[in-house]
Amino acid sequence: MKKGLLIFVAAATLIACKSTSGKAGEASGDSVATAQKEKALADSANFTTAVWVDSTFKDVGKVKKGQVVEIPFTIKNTGDKPLVIASVSPGCGCTVGEKPEKPILPGEEGKVVAKFNSAGQAEGSHNKNMTVHANTKPFTETVLNFKVEVVN
């Protein structure tokens, strides 16, 4: 009886997985976007140039302990191919990175935002960073830095 129940649960799980994988076009849209990001980063023919409009370093100044601060970094696509920001990797758990979900067309600007949570941080100066992975040449990685002083 236990074997029968186990087989039934396994079959039900497989059926449930199959029925939700093609649901509402949303999952397939995500896979298309992921495929475009992978292609843009893998094929140097899709690389473009970009500049960080307002620098790759920001001094945020004083922040009260417990406050969440957003630090925007503006990037401009100066090339002739769409700029795809594939990922943003924060250097620590107190920072979350947000990136544009859609490609940035040639001549347009986009924002990468660092959200720093000062809760649990010691008072004093902190230097934080995030690594941005994009289809840019000559390098596909850029490190964004910011400095913040946590006060009580």
Nearest to 110 by CA among 82, 139, 91: 82
**Mean pLDDT value across residues 131-150:** 95
Q: How far apart are CA 70 and CA 56, in angstroms?
A: 15
**What band does 37 get if pLDDT is binned at 50, 70 and 90?**
low
Q: What is the pLDDT of residue 114?
A: 97
Burial group, residue 100, by CB count within 10 angstroms (0-12, 13-18, 19+): middle
pLDDT at position 33, please?
59
48-151 is a CATH 2.60.40.10 domain: yes
* Residue scoring higher pLDDT (77 or 25): 77
Region 113-121: what's the mean pLDDT?
Answer: 95
Mean pLDDT to the nearest integer, 94-117: 96
- Residue spans of the domains in the chain: they are 48-151
Structure-model confidence comparison of residues 72 and 24, the more confident one:
72
